[in-house]
Structure 1
Amino acid sequence: MSLAQRVLLTWIFTLTFLIMLVLKLDGKVHWNWFLIFLPVWIFDGILLLMLLVKMVARCKPGHDPRNGSQDLKKEAWYLASMLLKLGFCLTLCARLEKLTHIKLTFVCIPLWCMLLGSMVELGYNIFPDRREA
């Protein structure tokens, strides 16, 4: 998939989610919160499928594992962060629908873990020469 297609897909799903969110918050529609987050989950499902295909392609015979070990770690982090985001969205929707009475602090724990991990990864990418010392 080309970069232009990925950008267009991102914009379409983001715009659809934001329109549905504004309609729900404005009281124009009375849809379920799980339905409101559907564009986010479809987009994440597409990204997850693309990531899994990329990771499985590394396991096929003939692939040189020496030049891709860092990429595999990065892809594993992407997979973990997507699962953390999914956990956050699911618990948030369950709380908004009043299916559970989890404190908002506990709902945000996957989001905080994802943000903390992103900050660590950003630090490794900004200062690559310091981690080898």
Structure 2
Amino acid sequence: MGFVQRALFTWFILLVFLVVLCLRLENRIYWNWFLVFIPLWLYDIILVTWAVIEIVQRQHANRLISLHHYKYYVVGILLKILSQITICLKLEYKWIPMYALMVPIWMLLVMLIVFVGTHLKPKPRSIGSNRSNRQSAAVSS
């Protein structure tokens, strides 16, 4: 699937979710909150399937360098789904404490911090790219 098709599909899923969410919040429909979140879960299942297929293809081609990136993706998507489930449970049952709602979100944020911290590396500088080196070389010759 091309980039444009993926972007249009993503916006369509988001649009359907927001329409159903607005209808539910205005009490025009009386669906369970788990039904309201079905478009997002459908999208998440597609994302997990894509990531697993990429992992299998990369292992088959012996390209293990970026395999860990996809493992982070799968864990992140699963934590996002778990966050959505806890949000639905909180909206359906008011007695669930707020800290129980926030635990998957905190875990997701910690995982994102670790991922960015371990994969954000400065580009190595080449020896000839420093401007002062070029100027000093021009002056000495």
Normalised to the residue count of structure 2, the TM-score between the two structures is: 0.78
Q: Deviations over 1:58-97 (max 9, x none)?
A: 232xx234xx32x111110111111111111112112211
- Residue 85 of structure 1 corresponds to 80
Moved over 2 A (4+): 119-130
Name 2:107's counterpart in structure 1. 113
Partner amino acid for 2:77? M
Q: What displacement does 1:127 show?
A: 3.3
Residue 45 (structure 1) aligns with = 45
CA distance in 2, matches of 1:43, 1:58: 23
Shift of 1:53: 0.8
Residue 128 of structure 1 and its aligned partner are, at CA, apart by 4.1
1:129 shift after superposition? 5.4
Task: Name the TM-score, length of structure 1 as normaliser.
Answer: 0.83
Q: CA RMSD in A?
A: 2.0
The amino acid across from 1:114 in the alignment is: L
Please tell me the residue identity of whatever aligns with 2:102: C
Q: How many residues of Structure 1 are paired with residues of Structure 2 in the alignment?
A: 124
Q: Secondary structure at the match of 1:106?
A: helix
Residues of 2 paired with 1:12 and 1:123: CA distance?
33
| Structure 2 counterpart of 1:23 | 23
Shift of residue 126 of structure 1?
4.0
Q: Which piece of structure 1 moves more, 13-22 or 118-127? A: 118-127
- Structure 1 unpaired stretches of 5+: none
Matched residues, percent identical?
Answer: 33
Once residues 127 and 18 of structure 1 are traced to their aligned partners in structure 2, the CA distance between those partners, rounded to angstroms, is 37
Deviation at 1:13, TM superposition (A): 0.4
Query: CA–CA distance in 1 between the matches of 2:48 and 2:102?
Result: 21
Query: Structure with the greater relative contact order (CA < 8 A, sep ≥ 6): 1 or 2?
Result: 1
**Gaps spanning 5+ residues in structure 2: where?**
125-141
CA–CA distance in structure 2, aligned partners of residues 64 and 81 of structure 1: 24
Q: What is aligned with 1:64?
A: 62
**Which of 1 and 2 has greater Rg?**
2
